[in-house]
Structure 1
Amino acid sequence: MTPTNSPPVFIVGATPSVVVIIPFYNGADFIERSVRSVFEQSVPANEVIVVNDGSRPEERAALDALAKRYPFRILDKENGGQGSARNAGVAASTSEYLCFLDQDDFYLPNHIETLVNAIPPDDQLFGYVYADLFEADAEGNVIRTEVVKDHAKHPKRSIFDLLRYDMFVLPSASLVSRKAFEAVGGFDPQFMGYEDDDLFLRIFRKGYSNQFVDKAVTVWCIHTASTSFGIRMVRSRFKYFKKLLEMFPDEHQRGRYYLRDSLMPRFHPFFVNEAIEAIKSDSEYRGEMSAVLAEYAAIVFANPHVGRKTKLRLWITLQLLQRSTPWMVRFVGAMTRLPGIRRLRRIYGG
């Protein structure tokens, strides 16, 4: 990793100290909007670092041009994904609190002020505070003004809830204690998707507190070029599933069956539907998606606490998909949308 604009820039005025870290990967179309939103904050950041995660030379040059107008630091590293880039930014900073921002999102003007003011006084185990977001398209046109509240419970109080559902704690709408971040080793770089859920779950398990602010502080721009889409997210999802499976083995004596009651309801539809969609579109990843489903099924079949009916339905799904052509999958999909035979869709699609 080679810092190019050193020493780091400090913007005086914010107390306590806050660093904003923006991972950058071939995002010249969006990065100016993100950076500008950081420098328009009602309470300024002490450090602003853009981590170039192995972008193309022409994209990297766009950062140099932008840095002539906004005093941020550029840190260069080989491509490793958002989690790896965020870790590098944290390691290169000194501030007490960490804010992150994806390159295609942008802050509302009171992002830092709102989150800093929500830090509980005298909380020796403060972990993070997070808020809601606006959802928008690629151009920043708002679609809805509440996202987080619609998808999960807040703040986080139960590990069972964190396993059963997506966290919906987004780094771009959060402020994290450096102490808590470093205590868990930061983001797990093996993930290029679900690294957020993994981090905040591990902070929770270490006993650090979390706070939720019922107010939007960030605009979350969702589009097909986002990291939420694509094969890297699919692969990362299965890696995260297997990590959780290892972290939370069933506890029969305590009546806690994590695979059956938490992980399967959360991840099963993804694994089945992704295999179906890959066959339907005759995707280049068809073999990989089928292999993921087969490995997932083997895990389910081997678990003594998953019911026979559930295993039978999954077995039927596997047999159907192994013998299906793209035309057959499209035909069954169309037929099972008709009234009277929708039940077949539940069997076929898991």
Structure 2
Amino acid sequence: MRKFSVIIPIYNRPDELQELLESLTQQSYTNFEIIVIEDGSMLKCDTVCEFYKDKLDIKYFYKENGGQGFARNFGFEKASGDYFVQLDSDAIVPDTYFEIVNTEIDKHGLDAYGGPDAAHVSFTPTQKAINYAMTSFLTTGGTRGKSKNLGGKFHPRSFNFGLSRKVWEKVGGYKITRMGEDIEFSIRIIEAGFKVELIPAAFIYHKRRTSLSQFYKQLFFFGRARVNIWRFFPKELKMVHLFPVAFTLFIWSLAFQYLMFPILFYLSFALLLIFVLANFVKASIENKSLKVGILAIPASLIQLFAYGMGFIKEMFLSSEKN
């Protein structure tokens, strides 16, 4: 049986880890170990790991804070499995996850894979709205979890990302610890000639952020990270990545339109209203909740605007350095 090593970097989130480990006790495929890397946390999760030592093959390590990419590298070095599976600490894993992954690896000869994310029924309405914004094609968030998308080749993301030991031995681990580190790593794996695909059925429930203000900060950082990836791989900057920038500039322009071109302002406002209503309807139907639909309105606007703001700021910093 193929042995999986589950790599989990964590920083000040012991409660989240408890939910993740509990879900891992329910797996139908059980040949896996868990490597938890405490990345310089003040709120340690050692007692949580100790609680599960009789239920899971779990190893706990503490290291000085170095960022999630380098924490995963630390985990790779400690792993004994044939396949490394990276999960974020805010994940809940369905009980057939490893069974599905193992079957798909054999069926398609995958050297590495990524899986999508979804909202669990226990998530709060805000979390479900954020999940909608991050997975809907209307916000461009849906381009992340598709095997073929407007952003080019599928690049696994670290919240749900597996690779064989052979890949790690040839490509190495993360070169950067934040700012798009998982996409940079994915691109190098693909460029090395390894077979990388999305496994649609290998989804996890991803909590993401619990408030809209936290979500704004996260998406702002994602926008900055896209510019950082462009520094490494200029060809990886696609039109779809510029759509949030265009949206941000559009929002900025509304005040000017109102003062100088009222007719154009009303036309622009009507387009924005259509976008807002489309997200409200789509989110309400998908989640069967008007409350989630209402919360999806600010979440969708934040998904685009915050990303665009982060992108613009980082691009401006790049031009200043040059």
TM-score (norm 1): 0.60
Q: Letter of the 1:96 partner, please give it.
A: D
Q: How many residues align?
A: 257
Q: 2:82 aligns with which of 82, 96, 99?
A: 96
1:169 alignment counterpart: 156
Q: Please, which of 25, 28, 31 is the counterpart of residue 42 of structure 1? A: 28
Q: CA deviation at 1:130?
A: 3.1
Change (3 A) 1:54 1:152: closer
Confirm or deny: 8 A CA contact 1:227 1:233 kept in the other structure: no
Q: Secondary structure at 2:168's aligned position in 1? A: helix
The question of 1:127 aligning with 2:111 is answered yes
C-alpha offsets along residues 162-215 of structure 1, whole Å, 9 cap, x if unaligned? 8x458463334333111113322222224x242222222211111111233332
Change (3 A) 1:154 1:89: same
Name the SS of the counterpart of 2:27 in structure 1.
Answer: coil
In 2, the alpha carbon distance for the partners of 1:76 and 1:173 equals: 22
Distance 1:264 1:135, change over 3 A: same
Q: Find out whether 1:181 has 2:168 as its counterpart.
A: yes
1:110 touches 1:217 (CA, 8 Å); kept in 2? no
Kindly indicate whether the alpha-carbon contact (under 8 Å) linking 1:43 and 1:113 is maintained by their aligned counterparts in 2.
Answer: yes
Q: Per the alignment, do residues 334 and 219 of structure 1 end up closer, same or farther by CA in structure 2, a change over 3 Å counting?
A: farther
Q: Report percent identity of matched pairs.
A: 20
The answer to whether residue 225 in structure 2 is matched with residue 236 in structure 1 is yes
1:271-317 CA-to-partner distances (Å, cap 9, x unmatched) read: 5767999xx8xxxxxxxxxxxxxxxxxxxxxxxxxxxxxxxxxxxxx
Shift of 1:341: 5.1
Is there any run of 5+ residues in structure 2 with no aligned partner, and where?
A: 273-307, 313-322
* 1:340 pairs with 2:314: no
Query: Between Structure 1 and Structure 2, whose CA radius of gyration is higher?
Result: 1
Q: Give the secondary-structure state (helix, strand or coil) at the position aligned to 2:203.
A: strand
Match for residue 28 of structure 1?
14
Gaps of 5+ in 1: 1-14, 246-257, 281-328
Q: How does 1:29-178 map to 2 (within 5 A)?
A: 29-56=15-42, 59-60=43-44, 62-70=45-53, 71=56, 72-120=58-106, 123=109, 126-136=110-120, 139=123, 143=128, 147=135, 150-151=142-143, 155=147, 164-165=151-152, 167=154, 169-178=156-165
Q: 1:12-58 CA distances to partner (integer Å, 9 max, x unpaired)?
A: xxx111111111001123110011112221112432111001111xx
CA contact (8 A) 2:5 2:81 kept: yes
Partner of 2:239: 265
Structure 1 counterpart SS, 2:266: coil
Residues 181/334 of structure 1: CA separation in 2 closer, same or farther (3 Å cut)? farther
Shift of 1:232: 4.4
Partner amino acid, structure 2, of 1:151: T
Write the deviation string for residues 256-280 of structure 1: whole angstroms up to 9, x where unpaired. Answer: xx4xxx6252443455767999xx8
Q: Higher relative contact order at CA 8 Å, sep ≥6: structure 1 or structure 2?
A: 2
SS of the residue corresponding to residue 118 of structure 2 reads: strand
User: Could you say which residue in structure 2 is the equivalent of 1:331?
Assistant: 255
* Distance in 2 (alpha carbons) for counterparts of 1:39 and 1:271: 43
- Whether the 8 Å contact between 2:257 and 2:265 is mirrored in structure 1 is no
User: What letter matches 1:171 in structure 2?
Assistant: S
User: How big is the shift at 1:107?
Assistant: 0.7
**More helix, by proportion:** 2
